[in-house]
Structure 1
Amino acid sequence: LPSRPAIFFGRDDLVNTIIDSLIQQVDSHICVLGPGGVGKSSLVLAALHDPRISSIFDDQIFFVPCDAASDLSGLVSVMSSYFGLQGEQLQDRLISLFRHGDHRKLLVLDNFESPWENMARRGDVENFLSTLSGIPELAIIVTMRGAERPSGTLWSRPFLPMVAPYDRSSARDTFLAITDGDPHDPYLDTLLDYADDLPLAVTLIAATAQYEPTAELVHRWKSDGTALADHGKHRKNSLDISIRITLDSPRIARFPEALQVLSLLSLLPEGVELEDVRAFAPDVLKPEGAISILLGNALVFRVSSGRLKVLAPVRNFIERHHFPAPSAFQTLCSRYAEVAASASRIGFSGCGPLYRKLGMELGNIESLL
């Protein structure tokens, strides 16, 4: 089992939900969902290192990274290698291994989206997971990018909420734990705004802040953006690579209009209503389908007001690498020019809804300008 994250703040409610499920249900099945870089693996490890969990499972906790697998064959190969199995009938032998003995076991399949995303062979992966979930005394945790749970498995209730970015206090604590910086640094909150409190972004920007002044990082973000949070060629060391992995997923590739809509949403930091997408993206034949794909991949979120928003690091990456086509950008600007022009009606009777609409759109208008 990998070690507990050395720097881990907040999220007590999610950690306790995982622990309670594992304690109370002999065959607990937990799916941990969220965007790339939000800290799903760290969350699970924080829960697994709790003394209450180690006392139940002892040395029968198996943490298997799945990012090298692209289908069922790859998943079986990765799991077999983890358990030291070679030869024939590996899938059956894995199942037998988990059935053997009368002690509770816990299997963690980390980055399970890698084998599961292959649409042509997804059913095979789901059937295998379903078989594993039917083994008595075997608890299962899977971590996945996105917002969709695999079918065929009876997931424990209540479902674990999708993992969201840090609250600001935890983001500040994380940044300062890495940098040992000044908690009153006037540029700290600006950098955390750029990171949108996404744990991976906070961690990588803080790592850079160990040797570059925060004032310089604020200046560099305007030109380099997410590229300044690059400390290697792995998803855990590069914000750009982490975002690109999600964009390159088969779920996005099979619906090109999703990236087209995302390129427009990424210019609107205050988010939009779904009907606005229909208005400023008339060339998109299925805007609802595009939004559904983006929601399923955790590239877009619905906030409490119901508006659709994109995290700041993703917005920055998309603006630099996938800026909208000129015609699409002009249509978007024209739409918001109409919104801005409607301000001339403020002051007349019945303008309350208009006033509220403008209040929500000012940040978007400023972004486009």
Structure 2
Amino acid sequence: LPAPPQIFHGRKTELRDVIDILTQYTPARIAILGPGGMGKTALATAALHHPEVIKKYTERHFISCHATATCQDLISVLADHLGVERGRHLARRIARFLKYAPPTLLVLDNFETPWEANETRSEVEEFLSTMTAAAHVALLITMRGAERPAKVKWTRPFLLPLRPLEDAAARQMFIAIADDRHEQSLVTQVLKLTGNLPLAVSLIASVVSHEGCEKTLSRWHAEKTRLLSDGYDKGSSLEISLMVSLTSSRMTPEAQELLNLLSILPDGLSQAEVLHSKLPISNVLAAKSTLIQTSLAYVDLGKTLSVLPPIREYVRGVYPPSPALKAALRQHY
């Protein structure tokens, strides 16, 4: 099992919700949803190591689905992890293995990888349903986006997709990495760049820890999200994490156009503006729905379609809106 997260702030309520479902419901079926970099894996890992969960489940398994592009990949990885010998009818034999196993918790991390392709989605959902037929097998998945796979009876109440950290929690996380020796007003400026996205907070705090706030702010103005992208994977590079979402098979050209437009609008677009601004985007409501489903955009309390600052900065630099979109926006305003 991966080690429990040592720096883990601002998810007390969500962690309690996950633990309550895992320990009080049979069968337990949970999907932790949200954008990339929002701390889904950290939350799942924290729950996996909680004493109440350990007490209930004799077997606990954490399986990364990051490299499982197809349903067959998923079946093979799961079989290897559980110790089920490969061969014919492997999915059926995994289900039989789980049927006679003691109380078991399966955590499937990055489940969007095998699930999101339209051509394999139904097969993956069918396998997930078969695998969790036994009531004593609890399922916890993490997925980018705001959709849950079909064919599984997810435990209610559903967990809401994870949102950015509260300001106090983001500051706690920053201090845990960068120490509490920096001028508070500068820390506030630095944290504002992150939108309280946990991955961005962690990465920028690491930069501040050896460069200080002032130099970090100067570098951000010159480098933008490249400053947070020296890592080699989506857990250590903001740009790699964002590209995973932007290249999702769920994205459409229309959704990309709308996202490009939102990247130059810090205040977002109201529902009325989405409907009546005469943007040259075909089926703009479907585009909006796609951005919400992939968690690249969200609707805030004021019912405004918005994008988190790190996503906005990256998209604006790599996919600026077309001249036609800009012209339509100028005409509207």
TM tier, shorter chain? Answer: over 0.9
Paired position in structure 2 for 1:302: 299
Q: Is the 8 A contact 2:32 2:159 kept in 1?
A: yes
Matches within 5 A, 1:70-81: 70-81=69-80
Q: What is the aligned partner in structure 1 of residue 126 from structure 2?
A: 127
3-state SS in 1 of match to 2:44:
helix
Q: Tell me how far 1:100 sits from its aligned partner.
A: 1.4
Contact 1:261 1:281 in 2 (8 A): no
Distance 1:181-1:281 versus aligned 2 partners, 3 A rule: farther
How many Å separate the matches in 1 of 2:60 and 2:17? 18
Q: Which has the larger radius of gyration?
A: 1
Give the Cα separation in 2 of the matches to 1:212 and 1:227: 16
Report how many aligned residue pairs link the two structures. Answer: 332
Aligned-residue offset at 1:72: 0.5
Q: Percent identity?
A: 36
Aligned 1:214-253 pairs, distance under 5 A: 214-252=213-251
**More displaced, 116-125 or 217-226?**
217-226
d(CA) in 2 for partners of 1:242, 1:104: 34
Among 314, 319, 331, the residue aligned to 2:316: 319
Shift of 1:181: 3.5
2:94/2:131 contact within 8 Å kept: no
Deviations 1:261-312 (A, max 9, x none): 1000111111211231244453111000000000000011111111111000
Correspondence for 1:18: 18
Q: Gapped runs of 5+ residues in structure 1?
A: 337-369
The alignment partner of 1:187 has SS state of helix
1:49 aligns with 2:16: no
Q: Name the amino acid aligned to 1:9.
A: H
Contact 1:67 1:112 in 2 (8 A): yes
Deviations 1:150-177 (A, max 9, x none): 0111000100111111111110011111
Q: Take 1:312 and 1:82, find their aligned partners in 2: how far apart are those partners?
A: 38
Name the CA distance, whole Å, in 1 between partners of 2:205 and 2:282.
42
Matches within 5 A, 1:15-164: 15-58=15-58, 60-89=59-88, 90-101=90-101, 103-164=102-163
Query: TM-score normalised to the size of structure 1?
Result: 0.87
- Determine if contact 1:281/1:328 at 8 Å carries over to the other structure: no
Aligned residues of 1:27 and 1:137 also touching (Cα < 8 A)? yes
Contact kept in structure 2, 1:68 and 1:78, CA below 8 Å:
no
Deviates more, 1:33-42 or 1:83-92: 83-92
1:185 counterpart residue number: 184
Cα RMSD, aligned residues only: 1.3
Q: Answer yes or no: is the 8 Å Cα contact 1:263–1:323 preserved in 2.
A: yes
Of 258, 263, 287, the residue aligned with 2:284 is 287
For residue 50 of structure 1, report the CA deviation from its aligned partner.
1.4
Choose 92-101 or 312-321, whichever is displaced more. Answer: 92-101
Query: Is the partner of 2:210 in helix, strand or coil?
Result: coil
Corresponding residue SS for 2:184: coil
Task: Tell me the SS of whatever aligns to 2:185.
Answer: coil
- Point out where structure 2 has 5 or more consecutive residues left out of the alignment: none
The normalised TM-score by structure 2 is: 0.96
SS at match of 2:269: coil
Distance (whole Å) between structure 2 residues aligned to residue 6 and residue 213 of structure 1:
23
Question: Where does residue 345 of structure 1 map in the other structure?
Answer: none
Asked whether 1:259 is paired with 2:265, we answer: no
After superposition, what is the alpha-carbon deviation per residue over 1:110-159, rounded to whole angstroms, capped at 9, x for unaligned? 00000001101100000111112221200000100000000111000100
Q: Distance in 1 between matches of 2:227 and 2:152?
A: 40
Distance across 2 between alignment mates of 1:332 and 1:43: 40
Instruction: Give deviations 1:332-367, integer Å, cap 9, x for gaps.
Output: 13322xxxxxxxxxxxxxxxxxxxxxxxxxxxxxxx
Matched residues in 1 for 2:331 and 2:225: separation? 29
The amino acid across from 1:122 in the alignment is: R
8 Å contact from structure 2 (residues 182, 213) kept in 1? no
Equivalent position of 2:274 in the other structure:
277
